[in-house]
Amino acid sequence: MNILDKIVADKHKEVALKKSLIPVKQLESSVLFDRETNSLAHALRNSNTGIIAEHKRRSPSKAVINQKVNVQDVAQGYQTAGVSGMSVLTDGKYFGGSLDDLLLARSSVKLPLLRKEFIIDEYQLLEAKAHGADVILLIAAVLDRNQIRSLSQLAKSLSLDVLLEVHNKEELEKSIMPSLDMLGVNNRNLKTFDVSIETSKSLSNQIPDDFVKVSESGISSIDAIKDLKQYGYKGFLIGENFMKTENPGASAIEFIKELES
């Protein structure tokens, strides 16, 4: 059993419990449910830097990253830095996040917000919409093609962008379909937790041009981004590199300034 299998086994229990406590009607009556969303894919296509900065308190690979910062300060700092979007981890058990983090980020910035979650059920898409998300993540390693199709089609009907994440060629081949907006290659090996941008580079020419290419995890240098851009990547998901500092927003400002210079 790898870490994703464990997370997903827990997620099934968590979603069943939430469904029994918070009915769909309650999510649909949220004031944010009918909000006009802000496309991350569009923002990335029109950006020179393409940074998606993440709020991440802890992780299975690193334990504690930053428990001190306030999500609203982080969101405002990232917006000031000029990121294209923000990713908010909402898993509690493994990442220390919550839907409240998403709501607080939404209340602070206009940026496209990605609900970074292990999505296995349509209910989680309704939660995402009700808490102010613009984008959802689908992870090919934990979903079959039919699930990817039905979840991504529901997301599109809710005006949510879809970022589909893969780790290898097999996951990519089973997932390609028109209801996806962005294809993300995760550079983290979930068995060893090693990160290598070579994963993104090696899969790049197999991603059709219709999708915005996003490289995820283990990105900490300007050189890595310049390198990945040569392979057609337009989006760069960065968590730990900003969150491990005292002031993630200020770190993002410095990083983007250097990237633009």
Q: Which residues bind ligand LARABZUK (CB under 6 A)?
A: 3-4, 54, 56, 59-61, 186, 188, 190, 195, 216-219, 237-241
Active site residue 186: yes
Please, which residues have CB within 8 angstroms of residue 61's CB and are 6 or more apart in sequence?
188, 193
Query: Which single residue is written with the structure tokens 């089973």?
Result: 174
Residue nearest to ligand LARABZUK (CB): 239
Least distance from ligand LARABZUK to the Cβ atom of residue 199, Å: 12
Minimum CB–partner distance for residue 212 and ligand LARABZUK (Å): 16
Of the pair 98, 159, the CB lying nearest ligand LARABZUK is at 98
Which entry of 11, 54, 87, 171 is annotated as an active-site residue?
A: 54
Least distance from C-beta 25 to ligand LARABZUK, angstroms?
A: 31
Closest CA to 237 of 34, 65, 72, 85: 85
Please indicate whether residue 56 is annotated as part of the active site: yes
240 is catalytic: no
- Give least dist CB 134 to ligand LARABZUK, A: 17
Q: Can you list the positions of beta strands (E) in the chain?
A: 51-55, 58-59, 63-64, 85-89, 113-116, 135-139, 161-166, 182-186, 212-216, 235-238
Catalytic residue among 11, 56, 201, 234: 56
β-pair partners for 216: 186, 237
Distance CA 236, CA 151 (A): 24
CB 141 within 8 A of CB 167: yes
What is the set of active-site residues?
Answer: 54, 56, 116, 165, 186, 216-217
